[in-house]
């Protein structure tokens, strides 16, 4: 029987490189490919960052070392539209986006998988720290947290469809980082000790406000107020602040204050106490479910609203096509519009969606 063909998504990092070696050891016919998403010069840096030209070369050297074919897919136009422009637009609308989720949804498990199918591959593979398997009882593919919870990346993969899961392999998902680096070192891979990529690959210095300003212009200053309208000071543009932020706002008060909301219509930054920054409910849209086709009745589970956050008990209420309301057992802190809420049943991902609003 012919070997199954796998196209490994190689970011230039050690995780995806070790994934290739593991696949070869398992007997797959493997080729590698890197998504070229932007030039470093396009984002104004020269340091190595994920999916830049430097990483293409690192991935190419690893592919050469392991003796596999290597491809480069130029998805820069789609990355700009789906990820970078979306990042800017969401901030300008008062939200806090997660570009990794958008990239996975539209690029890695969208365009990349489509290209792999066109080239005749049976599967794609990535270096994500998750595992998946087909559940005979439900007849569905399931997505499970990594055994190494500190590296778990299930939060950014909740948008995967059954079709995508059925054609994706996660070779490193059951391993930890030291084991991965050991595999790379034993096989003489150039990136065995390469540092992990930045959370936002196209803003490696973390200065997202400057990134937005360069593309959308200077943002107007406005009032910093309490919920009752009391003016506390002036803000330097709403893009500079996030929900739940306490330090660096530039106002003083008789008790600790947090950013509770951004009033985009009146251009006001609203502050409140610790109780006011918590919400009991949120609404979500573009909801995708993995364990079920759709939700038709309330479901008890746990949820997290930020990457690497501890999931907490809640109830999901389906409210319409790809929409849901989530009620937490206890008020939940700093829920931000534009971020994702991801639902869990123990170690398994139920699904998730984009946060569209909150209620106290």
Residues at the annotated binding site? 9-16, 35, 127
DSSP H or E segment with residue 99: helix 99-103
- Hey, CA dihedral for 136, 354, 211, 226, is it positive or negative? negative
Binding annotation for ATP: 9-16, 35, 127
H, E, C per residue of 16-28: HHHHHHHHHHCCC
H, E, C per residue of 191-241: CCCCCCCCCCCCCCCCCHHHHHHHHHCCCCCEEEEECCCCEEEEECCHHHC
What is the number of other CB atoms lying within 10 angstroms of the CB of residue 130?
A: 24
* Token pair listed for 41: 């010069």
As a dihedral over the C-alpha atoms of residue 39, residue 45, residue 51, residue 53, rounded to 10 degrees, the angle is 50
Separation CA 244–CA 253 (nearest Å): 16
314 catalytic, yes or no? Answer: no
100 catalytic, yes or no? Answer: no
Looking at 100, 103, 278, 314, which residue is catalytic? 103
Looking at 100, 201, 278, 314, which residue is catalytic? 201
Nearest Cα neighbor of 57 from 17, 5, 88, 22 is 17
The set of catalytic residues is 103, 201
């Amino acid at each position: 029987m012919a070997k199954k063909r796998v196209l490994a998504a190689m970011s230039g990092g050690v995780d995806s490189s070790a994934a290739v070696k593991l696949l070869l050891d398992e007997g797959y016919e493997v080729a590698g490919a890197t998504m070229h998403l932007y030039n470093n010069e396009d984002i104004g840096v020269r340091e190595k960052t994920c999916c830049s030209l430097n990483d293409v070369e690192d991935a190419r050297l690893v592919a050469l070392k392991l003796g596999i074919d290597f491809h480069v897919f130029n998805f820069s136009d789609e990355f700009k539209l789906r990820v970078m422009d979306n990042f800017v637009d969401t901030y300008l609308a008062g939200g806090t986006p997660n570009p990794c989720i958008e990239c996975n949804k539209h690029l890695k498990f969208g365009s990349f998988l489509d290209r792999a199918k066109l080239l005749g591959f049976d599967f794609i593979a990535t270096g994500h720290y998750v595992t998946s398997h087909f559940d005979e009882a439900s007849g569905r593919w399931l997505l499970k947290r990594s055994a190494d919870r500190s590296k778990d990346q299930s939060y950014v993969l909740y948008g995967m469809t059954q079709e995508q899961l059925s054609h994706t392999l996660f070779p490193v998902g059951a391993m930890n980082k030291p084991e991965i680096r050991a595999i790379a070192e034993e096989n003489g891979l150039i990136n065995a000790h390469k540092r992990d990529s930045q959370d936002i690959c196209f803003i490696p210095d973390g200065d997202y406000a400057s990134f937005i300003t360069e593309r959308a212009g200077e943002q107007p200053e406005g009032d910093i107020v309490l919920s009752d309208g009391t003016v506390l000071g002036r803000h330097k543009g709403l893009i500079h602040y996030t929900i739940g932020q306490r330090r660096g706002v530039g106002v003083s008060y008789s008790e600790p204050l947090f950013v509770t909301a951004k009033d985009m219509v009146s251009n006001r930054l609203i502050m409140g106490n610790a109780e006011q920054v918590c919400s009991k409910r949120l609404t979500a849209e573009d909801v995708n479910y993995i364990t079920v086709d759709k939700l038709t009745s309330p479901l008890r589970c746990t949820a997290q609203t930020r990457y690497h956050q501890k999931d907490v008990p809640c109830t999901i209420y389906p409210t319409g096509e790809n929409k849901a309301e989530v009620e937490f057992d206890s008020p939940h802190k700093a829920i931000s519009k534009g971020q994702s809420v991801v639902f869990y049943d123990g170690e398994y991902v139920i699904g998730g969606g984009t946060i569209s609003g909150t209620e106290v």
